[in-house]
């Protein structure tokens, strides 16, 4: 009996138990049985005073409880969790989900963080981070994380007595690969294709473990040209960890701080939390699979709102349906722009700077209207069409009704009137139809258009207002921006996929231009993942 008692005391101090923790389908309200594995260990004061590393499931998860972390006896439980949880849409989970808990909550002072060491299952060269699941908000929140790719684990600090945690990797954000050097602004600087300007990175030479801390002050290198290039180091920073004669170094990058992002990237959720779907502040938005009109994601998609210059695509489509000869030369009339000033002041209207009687081709008018969103050139197209202005606007309304855009209505052809309205769902349907015309598809996505007027030989350069088309991250094959005080910033972007499909993203009501682009890009990324 004495030996048995001592043996039980030993178990209570240092031993552990692993067994299946089962929840029946009836208890869980599910059709399948969920099985969790439990690791349990009791820690007494003597063990706590010396410090102890709780190591469970073949060292997959270690809790480093140094002296002072715990003040009283407690049982520590770790679950290898097999329950379904919503996962961050921008990242890949590369570990099991573990749940740890100090059963005696009073034993832990949450002002004192402790280290966890977490092995991951999938080896890759991407940026990794530990997140804990916040059930109250239904999202994953990041923890400060250091990756040890050679050892295949990460370390994080945490100050919670209970948490569900997992390791996630950011696809395409490289932290292990090669670094080259360049000579520009001397100092501890780097160019990065992944981390935004202002971020601080620690770059290790994997051959000698020397490191240098650098600030990102430029974008690059081009990942398409150098797929294994993590960063480029300024010459002086490169010299601190290697020799210039080596050309490139095998490096590991540890982010020390990531600057606030003005545009979306794979790291956009790094600062706050990560959820299973995009968190969008726009008034309304929609992602549609063009193949079958399937809605991938939506917010207030049927709400009718002003659509601003997105109107112009329909006006150009109606004009092109009259079968004009695009290289015909026509004269501009200053009277065309007077229609614009019925809705806005002259200085508020985007327009092509052209004088009365100046001549240009019909093609120039179309590209000015779609690339630069010029309002006066839309009215010029209406004037030179076979339809009078009222007939033209009536045709715009009838054609969208035929397409099934039942909530859409126009009172003029440019979008300057807030009475021109649609819903993002309607506009996705409209987008699918208007972009069937190759001229509209091309003109809406070209970065810039240049021409010279025929009679006065005045040169014009028109720049596209959609910043997303300037990125090489997506195959954008349809685009249009719009803005009114009443509408906020509106944007339509169609993107091709690797499966030779298209997704259409329509967003209405952004408060700023940056928000319009960044949240649209976030929806593009989500749509490409989900398609």
Query: Using an 8 Å Cβ cutoff, are 476 and 435 in contact?
Result: no
By DSSP bridging, strand 189-192 and strand 229-234 are: antiparallel
What is each CA distance from 381 to 48, 254, 321, 362, 414, in whole angstroms?
81, 56, 12, 8, 11
Query: Using an 8 Å Cβ cutoff, are 34 and 28 in contact?
Result: yes
Nearest to 63 by CA among 118, 9, 137, 141: 118
Query: Using an 8 Å Cβ cutoff, are 228 and 155 in contact?
Result: no
Report whether 480 belongs to an annotated binding site.
Answer: yes
- What is the Cα gyration radius of the chain? 30
Nearest to 194 by CA among 169, 211, 213, 167: 169
Nearest to 102 by CA among 131, 57, 132, 70: 70
Query: φ and ψ at 346, to 5 degrees?
Result: -60, -40
What is each CA distance from 470 to 163, 467, 473, 511, in whole angstroms?
42, 5, 9, 22
Neighbours of 26 (CB within 10 A): 8
Which residues are paired to 493 by β-bridges? 479, 505
Residue 507 in tokens: 């967003």
Could you give the residue numbers annotated as active site? 309, 312, 373
The binding site for substrate comprises 480
Q: Which residues participate in the annotated binding site? A: 480
């Amino acid at each position: 009996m004495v030996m048995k008692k001592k043996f039980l005391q030993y178990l209570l101090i240092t031993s552990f138990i692993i067994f299946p923790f089962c929840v029946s389908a009836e208890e869980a309200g599910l059709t399948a049985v969920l099985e969790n594995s439990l690791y349990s260990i009791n820690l007494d004061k003597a063990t706590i005073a010396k410090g102890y590393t709780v190591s469970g499931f073949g060292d997959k998860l270690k809790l480093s409880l140094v002296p002072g972390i715990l003040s009283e006896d407690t049982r520590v439980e770790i679950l290898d969790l097999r329950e379904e949880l919503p996962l961050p849409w921008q990242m890949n989970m590369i570990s099991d989900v573990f749940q740890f808990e100090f059963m005696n909550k009073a034993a832990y002072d949450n002002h004192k963080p402790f280290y966890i060491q977490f092995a991951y299952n999938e080896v890759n060269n991407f940026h990794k981070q530990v997140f804990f699941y916040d059930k109250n908000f239904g999202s994953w929140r990041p923890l400060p994380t250091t990756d040890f790719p050679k050892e295949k684990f990460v370390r994080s600090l945490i100050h919670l007595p209970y948490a569900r945690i997992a390791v996630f990797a950011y696809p395409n954000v490289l932290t292990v690969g090669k670094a080259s050097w360049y000579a520009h602004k001397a100092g501890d600087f780097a160019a990065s294709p992944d981390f935004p300007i202002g971020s601080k990175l620690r770059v290790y030479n994997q051959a000698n473990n020397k490191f240098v801390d650098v600030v990102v002050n430029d974008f690059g290198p081009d990942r398409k040209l150098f797929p294994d290039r993590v960063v480029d180091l300024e010459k002086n920073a490169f010299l601190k960890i290697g020799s210039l004669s080596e050309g490139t170094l095998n490096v590991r990058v540890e982010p020390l701080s990531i600057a606030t992002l003005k545009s979306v990237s794979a790291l956009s959720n790094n600062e706050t939390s990560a959820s299973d779907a995009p968190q969008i502040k726009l008034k309304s938005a929609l992602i549609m699979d063009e193949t079958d009109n399937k809605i991938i994601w939506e917010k207030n998609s049927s709400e009718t709102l002003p659509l601003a210059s997105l109107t112009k695509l329909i006006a150009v489509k109606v004009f092109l349906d009259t079968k004009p000869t695009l290289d015909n030369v026509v004269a501009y009339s200053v009277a065309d722009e007077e229609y614009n000033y019925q809705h806005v002041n002259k200085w508020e209207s985007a327009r092509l700077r052209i004088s009365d009687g100046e001549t240009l081709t019909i093609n120039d008018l179309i590209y000015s209207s779609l690339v630069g969103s010029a309002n006066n050139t839309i009215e010029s197209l209406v004037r030179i069409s076979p339809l009078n202005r009222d007939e033209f606007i009536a045709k715009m309304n009838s054609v969208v009704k035929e397409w099934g855009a039942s909530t859409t209505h126009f009172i003029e052809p440019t979008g300057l009137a807030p009475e021109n309205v649609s819903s993002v769902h309607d506009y996705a349907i409209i987008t699918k139809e208007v972009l069937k015309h190759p001229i509209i598809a091309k003109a809406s996505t070209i970065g810039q258009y240049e021409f010279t007027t025929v009679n006065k030989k005045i040169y014009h350069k028109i720049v596209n207002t959609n910043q997303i088309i300037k990125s090489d991250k997506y195959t954008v094959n349809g685009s249009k921006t719009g803005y009114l005080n009443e509408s906020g910033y509106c944007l339509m972007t169609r993107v091709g996929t690797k499966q030779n499909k298209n997704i259409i993203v329509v967003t209405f009501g952004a408060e700023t231009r940056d928000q319009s682009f960044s949240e649209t890009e976030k929806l593009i990324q989500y749509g490409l993942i989900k398609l």
